[in-house]
Chain A
């Protein structure tokens, strides 16, 4: 009997489709960490680029008109296709970047486009009288920008920017198409092995929800508080 028991145990051990184990947790956590890193990198790079581009678009007519087609295309082509295009273009150029960086670059451009729209709307919402008043008080252009226009523009743009950040967090899930193993791809690997689709997906969904929901609540409160 004892021998039979061990035999069974051994057999269970060799079964190809083993269920979910605690040892899978580090794998999922690694995926979650990569998702967070993607968000942080693309979020900060995209915001930086977006603020510059938004300012350029608001200040110079040439940028305003010249960038229209580019921004239009980024906004109306699915992000999946953008990932695939950037990825295949770098192999055409003979480069071999890590999928992480392809993901960061593509997401940053996307985030920059969203941010530049918000920055532009924010700057437009500042009444021109205010910056002119600053100029007549003897402020230079940059002093007026830093102390008058930017703070007021941030007031308008901040809730929308948080919304864009939430969208970015959700969009990191698409980096899996170019073969980067982030949270959702890690989940799929585990689903293929363990067949516990519902449990794993619920966990993954909850992860995104726990990150995005409080932030979106905060954005809504901020919007109400900042309303002028």
Chain B
């Protein structure tokens, strides 16, 4: 039954292509996380306000991002905006959709973190004569940062995994590049095993790096 010979040299011949794909994957992961982190803060604060137009808009964003498949979100940006006459390339479509997705998840995460800090701490800071900004900067955020840190690292992995959906709309990130590379020889299994290994290596590096950073940052506690 098993008369298949694995041919790995074919994969190594395309190694540079896979690495180029991995670079695009990393790029999208880092950029989308950076933009989403910045965008998620106002959303979390708006959701905490509990009423008003901005809260409703933030709620719609968060729930739409969390309750529809990421692939639908990517299609929406790529084909949906295209139907409106706004044509964007697959790179920015994937980047935009994953940023939208990340922002929804991160906003909820930050909101949970802010809720976990007792409100008395804010009042205490204020009564010690700190300004509201100083209170946030020196008292609230350091605590939120500690609560949110590991879920945030998980979200980085999720962003990386979700960027693989770029293959479906023809982006040459790691999965897409592998798909292109294997289409010459159709050694699908060998190529995607190597791609899986690369994803695993990236995910593990992120986690190890995160642990080192956590060890340095939270050591005093």
- Listed in ascending order, the chain A residues whose CB lies under 8 Å from chain B are 72-73, 76-82, 84-85, 88-89, 92-94, 166, 170-171, 173-174, 176-177, 184, 187-188, 191, 195-198, 201-202, 204-205, 208-209, 212-213, 216
**Is B19 part of the binding interface, using a Cβ–Cβ cutoff of 8 Å?**
no
Ranked nearest first, the 4 interchain pairs of A and B with the lowest CB-CB distance are A76-B203, A78-B164, A212-B67, A197-B79
Partner of B69, one of A76, A170, A196, A213: A170
Does B189 touch A at the CB level, under 8 Å? yes
Known contacts A209-B67, A213-B63; A198 and B2 CB within 8 A of each other: no
Nearest-Cβ distance from residue B104 to partner chain A, whole angstroms: 12
Contacts A174-B71, A201-B75, A201-B76; A80 near B165 (Cβ below 8 A): yes
Chain A contacts for B196, CB-based, 8 A: 73, 77, 81-82, 85
- Name the segment of B10-18, B47-55, B80-88, B136-144 touching the other chain: B80-88
B175 lies within 8 A of A76 (CB): no
**Alpha-carbon distance between A73 and B157 when the two chains are bound, in angstroms:** 12
CA–CA, A145 and B84, complex, Å: 58
Binding site for A on B (CB under 8 A): 1-2, 4, 63-64, 66-73, 75-76, 79-80, 82-84, 157, 161-162, 164-165, 167-168, 175, 188-189, 192-193, 195-196, 199-200, 203-204
* Cα distance, A191 to B78, chains bound together (Å): 12
In chain A, what residue has the closest Cβ to B202?
A76
A-B interface contact total, Cβ < 8 Å: 110
A85 to B189 alpha-carbon distance, docked (Å): 6
- Could you tell me if A205 and B161 are in contact, using CB atoms closer than 8 angstroms? no
Question: Cβ of A213: which chain B residues have Cβ within 8 Å of it?
Answer: 63, 67
Q: Cβ of A196 and Cβ of B67 under 8 Å apart?
A: no
Instruction: Please give, as numbers and ranges, the residues of chain A lying within 8 Å of B76 by CB-CB distance.
Output: 201-202, 205
Can you report 29 A-B residue pairs in the complex whose CB atoms are below 8 A from each other?
Answer: A76-B200, A76-B203, A77-B161, A77-B196, A78-B162, A78-B175, A80-B167, A80-B175, A81-B175, A81-B192, A85-B192, A88-B188, A93-B2, A94-B2, A174-B71, A174-B165, A184-B69, A184-B71, A184-B75, A191-B79, A197-B79, A198-B80, A198-B83, A201-B75, A205-B76, A208-B68, A209-B64, A213-B67, A216-B66
